[in-house]
Structure 1
Amino acid sequence: MTAWRLCENELKKLPDNNKFTHMYCDRFGSTLVVDAKFFRIKGLPYGYGLLWGVDYFKHDIPVAIIASSERYQAWAKYFSYHRIISNHPELLVCDDNVNIKMAARDKFPEVHIQTCTNHFKEVIRRNLKVRSDDTYKSFMKCINDAFKEKRTDADMFKRMRILWKVYEGDPVCESVLVNIQRYYHELTGYRGFKGAPTTTNIIEGFNSHLQSRLQSLRSFESVQHAQLWINGYILKRRFTKYTDCKGKFKHLNGKRGVDMTKKQRVVLPSYFS
């Protein structure tokens, strides 16, 4: 029997991650950070994506699905699972993907959206071509400084007014400043949620960890194989104790993500020795 066949047999013994959550977990946090991570399927010209999210304050992964794209329908399906497990996030942190935002608002009309400030700045950075052209480097530095930390409206508006006066008449800079004003509500969606993030850094870290595992695989033989492997990977992560959490998450060291969301007085099954 091949190594993959042995692995496949063990993976098939594991429960579906989403069904496991529905059965054993109900203590979810207020903030969900989501993203998609794409991977290769052998013989397909395009990749498939893992649509998943991290419960920010609990560091658990309650729901994940495999989809062929990040279309609205795929994200709507993802958020539907959150409704099934009775997880209604109050704050959603994501990149500036309209499909994510539309699907989330459809399933959770009251949800607040926090657009990742890192992604938002990166779009500006690319449009200004500051990595290859010095023309707008000083302007970009001011934008970076403005979003370096959480600021009051008064502080932010003061900074934007100064920038407008300095760069008035430059259509490129004016366009950036107008766009910031247009997105301002989503760039400050964290307001009212103590300790909430302004970036998707936590899920990006999870993506990086997953990528380090995927590199050795190169590609999956089929979508079914990908679903099996990724389901096992996610469950293993949920059942692995955290050891290097820092700052406000230091208290999570020695705990598993699933310990933080499991139902009260429920004994979790053991899947990994």
Structure 2
Amino acid sequence: MKKLPNNNQFTHKYCDRFSSTLVVDGKYFKVKGEKYGYCLLWGVDYFKHDIPVITIAPSENYQTWARYFSYFRLLSHHPTLLVCDDHVAIKMAARSRFPEVRIQTCFNHFKEGLRRNLRTRSDTTYIPFMKRIETIINSSHKLSLENYNSWLQALWRDYHHDQVCLEVMATIQRYKPELRAYEGIKQAPLITNMIEGLNGHLQARLTSIQSFESVNYARLWLNGYVLKRRYSKWTGCTGKFKKLNGTRGVDQTKKYDVVLPTYF
């Protein structure tokens, strides 16, 4: 693992064909002697299925995410659309590094936050109201702006007498730019399932490790893991990504005039 290049330096040297859309998340892991563990900050290029940048940090906060996004400036790449959960630090850091970036809040995370506030897991009072919201904020279809506004108006008509519902509808209205940031970007994602899938694969490996002996070893291992993932051919891609089966993520982003070195 020590002979492998740093993932971010590798990207800087060999890759420059990134797409418009980046999906990011943080994945915590255990380190011996570190009470709260450490976090892998990473993201996947949505249309290219590559992982250009990673950062290892003690936690997710504005400073650590700002450092993560700063690497993209070194790559001269400014994503047009960033898809993430409703983590304030991610959004603030992204906007500080890319003032023009559009941020798409994951529909699933946003709705889960509403469910918690409405306590629909333990109280049935607002389940019908929440189901109405789920027809509007639905990742399986993208409503036109006209229909979106019309359905929200109908929701207000039916529930404006309830103060709790009014507060939720005010939240939805406040988040409107982040719930419709995808507009104008063909086939843009509404949820973070791609990076969450990568989190799941990583967790399966981390379960067998249980805990890293040190932060330095964690950096080496995770750097190697990500490079290996980039060099591995994708399988099981469906729908619009079916064409990526049998290809490697790094082949989608590498510079046209370079030959990639062999590491694995």
TM-score, normalised on structure 1?
Answer: 0.95
Mapped to 2, the partners of 1:161 and 1:85 lie a distance apart of 44
Residue-pair matches, total: 262
Read off the aligned partner of 1:209 and give its amino acid letter.
H
Mapped to 2, the partners of 1:168 and 1:80 lie a distance apart of 44
Residue 152 of structure 1: how far off its partner (Å): 1.2
Mapped to 1, the partners of 2:76 and 2:263 lie a distance apart of 24
Of 26, 29, 32, the match for 1:36: 26
Read off the aligned partner of 2:233 and give its amino acid letter.
K
Aligned to 1:224: 216
Q: Could you list the runs of 4 or more consecutive aligned residues of structure 1 that deviate by over 6 angstroms after TM superposition?
A: none
Measured against aligned partners, the alpha-carbon deviations of 1:144-203 in whole angstroms (never above 9, x if no partner) come to 111122111211111111111111221111111000000001100001100100111110
Secondary structure at the aligned position of 2:36 is classed as coil
Correspondence 1:225-240 to 2 at 5 A: 225-240=217-232
Mapped to 2, the partners of 1:123 and 1:224 lie a distance apart of 35
Mapped to 2, the partners of 1:44 and 1:103 lie a distance apart of 25
Of 157, 160, 177, the match for 2:152: 160
Measured against aligned partners, the alpha-carbon deviations of 1:71-92 in whole angstroms (never above 9, x if no partner) come to 1010110000011112210111
Mapped to 2, the partners of 1:30 and 1:153 lie a distance apart of 22
For structure 2, list consecutive stretches of 5 or more residues without a partner in the other structure.
Answer: none
Of the structure 1 ranges 82-91 and 256-265, higher mean CA displacement relative to structure 2 is found in: 82-91
Residue 265 of structure 1: how far off its partner (Å): 2.1
Residue 99 of structure 1: how far off its partner (Å): 1.0
Mapped to 1, the partners of 2:205 and 2:133 lie a distance apart of 35
Q: Is 2:181 aligned against 1:181?
A: no
Aligned to 1:3: none
Q: Is 2:182 aligned against 1:190?
A: yes
Correspondence 1:79-228 to 2 at 5 A: 79-148=69-138, 149-228=141-220
Mapped to 1, the partners of 2:261 and 2:131 lie a distance apart of 51
Mapped to 1, the partners of 2:240 and 2:159 lie a distance apart of 39
Read off the aligned partner of 1:80 and give its amino acid letter.
S
Measured against aligned partners, the alpha-carbon deviations of 1:87-128 in whole angstroms (never above 9, x if no partner) come to 210111111111111111111111111111110000001111
For structure 1, list consecutive stretches of 5 or more residues without a partner in the other structure.
Answer: 1-10
Mapped to 1, the partners of 2:14 and 2:38 lie a distance apart of 28
TM-score, normalised on structure 2?
Answer: 0.98
Q: Aligned residues: percent identity?
A: 63
Mapped to 2, the partners of 1:200 and 1:173 lie a distance apart of 26
Read off the aligned partner of 2:248 and give its amino acid letter.
R
Secondary structure at the aligned position of 1:150 is classed as coil
C-alpha root-mean-square deviation of aligned residues, in Å? Answer: 0.7
Aligned to 2:242: 250
Mapped to 2, the partners of 1:100 and 1:44 lie a distance apart of 23
